[in-house]
Amino acid sequence: MVIVIQCKDQVGLVASITTVLMRKGINIISMREFVNTEDARFFVRIETTESNDAALIEAALQAVLPEDTAIKVNPLPDKKIVVLVTKEYHCLSDILIRNHFNTLGAKVQCVIGNHTTLQELCNKFNVPFHYISHEGISKTIFEEKLIHTIQQYQPDYIILAKFMRILSPQFVALFAGHIINIHHSFLPAFIGAHPYRQAYERGVKMIGATAHFVTNDLDEGPIIVQQIIPVNHAFTAADMIKAGREIETAVLAKALQVVLDDRVFVYKNKTVVFE
């Protein structure tokens, strides 16, 4: 069982929480606690031996904790995700393979593409593919179509796996805290378009990728995972794009792993990740 709790910090929180668990005879296997002292914010993730009464435990915990506390007990063992794509295959392929072999930590409900490029790949894995083109319609209409399709599946998370359209604040607000994007640079470097061309022009010696929650400010949401790979003078801009595929795939995979394993908290514009 996994228990995650976020609330305002105060003396005795851990004692209160663990006393509740002790009284129910639940043994703690692993516990990660962190207090952001600047913000007086308390975060804890507890793995325990098994228990049947998640609702009862949640209620017992709520009874001893501050009112505004966010508690999740045994959260969502069968998480559902929807993946949005455009034309690039690398991140989607990785997700579909893990989905197929049940090592993703969630089930892919469907893939939505604004091009048909990746439809065949989804077909191979019997994952529903919805083609929703952005062409010839307003952004509002386009997003209404996306929303209509997404809401049919009630996903826990929406994954932008190289989805090349910028989403409106209205769309983002609707799924606030539930949209994860893979960005093709080591944010905040090379914000915006053509980051690999920018990186090439600047002559950097590393390129990176950033997985983050999406907020209204483009490329400015809470960062979940960042990694880099070394490059050198012999890399053309095209080589950097190719190398970028590897790091983008790895970073998104890692981000999904920690998010789907309930290891990530969001507060203000940052994450707490208990790896």
CB of 206 to a copy of itself, least distance (A): 5
Do residues 128 and 109 lie in contact, with contact meaning Cβ atoms separated by under 8 Å? yes
User: Could you confirm whether 94 is annotated as catalytic?
Assistant: no
Smaller CB separation from a copy of itself, 168 or 198 = 198
Smaller CB separation from a copy of itself, 176 or 238 = 238
Residue in the block written with tokens 């993730």: 45
Residue in the block written with tokens 């590393």: 206
CB of 202 to a copy of itself, least distance (A): 6
Smaller CB separation from a copy of itself, 2 or 147 = 2
DSSP state of 222: P
Smaller CB separation from a copy of itself, 22 or 70 = 22
Do residues 272 and 265 lie in contact, with contact meaning Cβ atoms separated by under 8 Å? yes
Catalytic residue among 39, 53, 94, 219, which? 219
CB of 199 to a copy of itself, least distance (A): 9
CB of 228 to a copy of itself, least distance (A): 6
DSSP state of 97: H
Burial of 93 (0-12, 13-18, 19+ CB in 10 A): middle
Q: Of the candidates 262, 255, 260, 264, which has an alpha carbon nearest to the alpha carbon of residue 161?
A: 255
Strand ranges, E, within the chain: 2-8, 28-36, 41-48, 70-73, 80-85, 107-113, 129-131, 157-160, 179-183, 206-213, 223-230, 264-267, 270-273
Q: What is the CA radius of gyration of the chain?
A: 20
Smaller CB separation from a copy of itself, 150 or 187 = 187
CB of 42 to a copy of itself, least distance (A): 9
Smaller CB separation from a copy of itself, 151 or 269 = 269
CB of 152 to a copy of itself, least distance (A): 26
Site of interaction with a copy of itself (CB under 8 A): 9-15, 18-19, 21-22, 25-38, 89-90, 93-94, 97, 100-101, 103, 121, 124-125, 186-190, 202-206, 208, 222-228, 232-234, 236, 242, 246, 250, 253, 269-273, 275
Which contacts qualify for 66-72: CB closer than 8 Å, 24 or more apart? 66/7, 66/8, 66/10, 68/7, 68/8, 69/5, 69/6, 69/7, 70/5, 70/6, 70/7, 71/3, 71/4, 71/5, 72/2, 72/3, 72/4, 72/5, 72/262
The catalytic site residues sit at 219
